[in-house]
Each structure stands twice: as structure tokens, then as C-alpha cells.
A and B are shown apart, each in its own frame.
Chain A
Amino acid sequence: MVRVGVLAVQGDFIEHSHALKRVGVESVEVRLPEQLDSVDGLIIPGGESTTIVQLIDIYKFRDSLRAKSSEGFPIWGTCAGMIVMASELTDKRPDPLKLMDIVVTRNAFGRQVDSFEADIDVSGINDGPFRAVFIRAPIVTKVGKKVKILAELDNGNAVAVQQNNLLATAFHPELTNDSRMHLLFAKMIEDST
């Protein structure tokens, strides 16, 4: 049975814990780097990416997350989490962790009034489309060779990507009652151990 950590420095980490609980997966709130050794994978939740990156550095997560990530430790970032995992951002701040070979544009759809939800198809998610909630959401504007695009919008913006042990979504599966993305991540963890 896998134990999934949820980075609990800021944002909607509790919604991730609830989504995991709904499908019977154990979750642990991770607030300090040493706790990473007691979990099999980590979710970086939605929140404010600038804030989360500040706090990642204040609590000294950066080096341990980079080391773990390169050793094959599964990490999934949603929205702000995707920004945190990027190799590069199209605006200056914040300084991402450079875990995944993706270039990400923050607030790609505009301000809060432009936030939206839509049904999208996600590769690896069966039984119909996924209701994706985009809140001040980012998009992936460039991907490296090893990155697989799992979902795109009609305009071609990539909004779900995977690179081996790393998964990133621009939307918030934790804000719906649909736990299929959480099951997908739990399966990634199982396959990696």
C-alpha cells in the first residue's frame, strides 16, 4: 500500500488528502524535508506558486526534492505545483525547481475573471472526459523530448504532461469529486516501487 505525501506549506493540500482518501489511498501532510523519506511519492498542490516556492526555499525543500526527483521519486504538481516543477517560466518569478523538462507560462488565461472549467480528454484516463477546473491557471508552452503530453485544450495548449516519474496538470483534479487522476498517480507510484 502506497503512502502519498502532500506538500502542506500553503494551498489546497487538504483537498488532495480528501481526494486520496475517497479512493482508499493513505496520505500524509509534508511540512519539512525530512518527512519526504517516509512517503512513496509527493503531490505539490494548488496554491500561489510564488508563495509555495518562497516557502520551499525557506524550509529548504529545494535540494532534497531535486535529488529525490532524479532518483525516480514520483511527484505530481497541480497548477501552482506544475509551475514549481518547471525547468523554466516565461516570466521572471518565481525560480522553479527545474524537475521537469517543460516551459510554463503562468496566469496564461488572464486574471481571475477568466478562470474556467471544461471537459477535457486525458490520455490514461478512461470512461469519459475529465471535468478540469482552471483557476488563474498556467499552460505548458514547450516540452522536452522525454515529456509526454496527456491533455491539450482545443487551442493546442498542453495542460497535462508526464515525464517518467513526474506528472503535472494545469488544472485542479482535487476540486472535483472525480479521483481518476489521483488513482493514476497512485498507479505511477506503485509501478515505480
Chain B
Amino acid sequence: MATETKSKKQDATETATWRVKSGLAQMLKGGVIMDVVTPDQAKIAEDAGACAVMALERVPSDIRTAGGVARMSDPTMIKGIIDAVTIPVMAKARIGHFVEAQTLEALGVDYIDESEVLTPADENNHINKHDFKVPFVCGCRNLGEALRRIGEGAAMIRTKGEAGTGNVVEAVRHARSVLGEIKRIQHMDTTELMATARDLQAPYDLVVEIHETGKLPVVNFAAGGIATPSDAALMMQIGVEGVFVGSGIFKSNNPQLMANAIVKATTHYEDPDIIAEVSTGLGDAMRGLDVRTMPVEEQLATRGW
């Protein structure tokens, strides 16, 4: 080895610190996280420039069609995907199902999504995410929900949107709600922060932190209904830091092209020329659903609180 080696010293080594858990999400920023159901799909996603994959048995639109109880995926499938790619692998646990989360941690997934796309296991309590070494991402519809999840230890937040619809309207609603509330709190008199924490049902300390910094203490992605390159760029321009694409890629006509195009549109979200170019000749996007005509019990975003 080399010349001039400095004296070795390594002190105070710690794993699973908040900085390490929330830090991985920082590395995902500006990127696209894609739902995949097979190792081959995972490779397509990686080759297209996805910054992580979400390993699951069925994409949300198929979960909708199949009905029944949606659970954590089969470990064989998750392991197959972990072995197929070198980018981080995420997997979903049911809301409140901490044993599914323990299992996913044991399997070596890099991030757990405590997800409303699966059937909740506990209608009152989400997982105490501080108990885990592996970091968690959680969905939200508004700032109060985001801060409750962060209070429980979520190291990354995403909008819930309405998964499996190919309709971006709910993701827009949720992102605007979170970001709008943040702006409101930032410009508030400090006297009003406790009442705001009460109204949002959010931890007071986190409301104070938002007042001081003007942003969430963790990375904030969009999810739920993103189906085209311009959907992804829309979410980025609204102010999220990256996007999850579920059914939008592998339910489109040409997944490889769509995956590439959404990655490019996410990087160059402020450049209409590039978005126009990558949107050209993609074939059909996934078939969409109108959320307004959807019965409430079919709306996944209403799961969790």
C-alpha cells in the first residue's frame, strides 16, 4: 500500500444512529424508487437509473384487482431481488405489523415502507420505528400525519397519494397540504406553535423545528399515482425531493422506456425541453382510475392516521 499513512484512530463507533438512518434517504434524493415484483424487473429498474427498488409480490394496481388481505411479500422473492441488484432494496410491512418489520430487517432489506398499500394489522398504532436498526419510510396525507410518523421514528416520508390508480391528483393534494402547512408554520408567531401542534395532533418539538428550519427534518418523496414523466416532474416542481413509481412503470406499454423517461424527467424536472423529448414515443401509460368515483373503502390513503 501507500506512502504517508496517518496514525489510525477510530473512536465512538455507533450504528443505527438517526444520522445514519435518515442519511440513507438523503442519498436517494433526486431519484426514482420503482416497485418491482421480480429480479428481472429489478434489473430493468437499476439499468434505467432507479436509485432504489421496492420489492413486492404485486404492484398496487394488482393488489386492488386481487382484493383480499395484502401482506408482506414472500422472503424468497425479496431475497431474489436483493441478490439481483446493488442499489438499496426496500420492502413493505403492514401498518402496525412490527413482526413483519422484524422479519424484513432480518432479511437485510435497506428500508422498510410501513405501507397503506397492504392491509393494516393495527388500526390504532403504527410501528414504533425507534426500536429498529433498519430505517423506515411512511406515507402521509398532511403535515400532522407526517410528524406523527417522524415522532414514531420514520426516517423518510412520502405522500400517500392513491396507489395503483395512475392518477396523480391525490399525490398533488397531499404534497400541497404538507408543503403548505410547513410554509404557514414557518411564518407563524412562536406563540401560536403549541395550538398548532394541538390542531395538527403533532409532536410540539417537531412543530418548533419546522418553524425554525422551514422544512421537514427528513427527506420527503411523492408516491401514489405517478404514471408519466411529467407527473414525476410535476411533483418535483411542487417541492418533493424524489418520487416513488409503483404500477406506473411495469403496467405501461414499454416499461424500459417508461423507467428511463421517468428517471430523466425527475433529474431535469425544470427543463421542459428534456421532458418533452423523453415523453415522446412512450406508448400508453398505465390505465388510470378516477379517484372521485371510487368508494371510500377502496381508497388506500384512508388507512392509517
Interface residues of A (CB under 8 A from B): 8-15, 31, 46-48, 50-51, 54-55, 58, 79-80, 91, 93, 106-107, 111-123, 129, 133-136, 142-143, 145, 147-154, 156, 158, 172, 175-176
Could you tell me if A48 and B27 are in contact, using CB atoms closer than 8 angstroms?
yes
Partner of B4, one of A31, A120, A148: A148
- Decide if B3 is an interface residue (CB 8 Å cutoff): yes
Beta-carbon contact of B134 and A113 below 8 Å? yes
Is B294 among interface residues, defined by CB-CB distance under 8 A?
no
| Cβ contact within 8 Å between A14 and B135 | no
A93 with B86: in contact, given A10-B267, A116-B20, A148-B4 (CB under 8 Å)? yes
User: B78 to chain A: closest CB distance in Å?
Assistant: 12
Please, which residue of chain A has its CB at the minimum distance from the CB of B13?
Answer: A118
Closest 5 CB pairs of A and B: A112-B110, A54-B49, A123-B6, A12-B26, A118-B13
Determine if B30 and A136 form an interchain contact, defined as CB atoms under 8 angstroms apart. no
In the complex the two chains form, is B27's CB within 8 Å of A79's CB? Answer: yes
Q: Tell whether B12 is near chain A: CB-to-CB under 8 Å.
A: yes
B28 closest partner in A (C-beta): A48
A-B contact pairs, 22 of them (CB 8 A): A31-B268, A46-B27, A47-B27, A48-B28, A54-B48, A55-B49, A55-B263, A58-B264, A91-B86, A111-B108, A113-B133, A113-B134, A115-B24, A116-B14, A117-B20, A118-B13, A121-B8, A129-B11, A134-B20, A143-B2, A148-B3, A176-B19
A133 & B6 in contact (Cβ 8 Å cutoff) = no
| CB <8 Å contact, B30 and A11 | yes
* Chain A proximity of B140: nearest CB distance (Å): 22
Q: In this assembly, does B16 line the interface, its C-beta being within 8 Å of a C-beta of chain A? A: yes
Is B47 at the interface (CB under 8 A from chain A)?
Answer: yes
User: B15, B23, B111, B267: which contacts A9 (Cβ < 8 A)?
Assistant: B267
**In the complex the two chains form, what is the Cα distance from A93 to B185 in whole Å?**
45
* B105 in the interface (beta carbon within 8 A): yes
B29 in contact (CB, < 8 A): yes
Do A136 and B3 touch across chains, with their CB atoms under 8 A apart? no
Q: Across the interface, do B17 and A117 meet the contact criterion of CB distance under 8 Å?
A: yes
Nearest CB in chain A to that of B48: its residue: A54
Residues of B within 8 A of A117 (CB): 13-14, 17, 19-20
Per the bound structure, the CA–CA distance linking A89 and B274 in Å amounts to 32
Q: Does B5 contact A (CB under 8 A)?
A: yes
Could you tell me the distance between the alpha carbons of A80 and B51 in the complex, rounded to whole angstroms?
A: 12
**B88-106: which have CB < 8 Å to A?**
88, 105
Given the known A-B contacts A113-B105, A118-B13, A121-B7, are A51 and B31 also in contact in the complex, defined by CB atoms under 8 Å? yes
Question: Taking CB as reference atom, which chain A residue is nearest B15?
Answer: A116
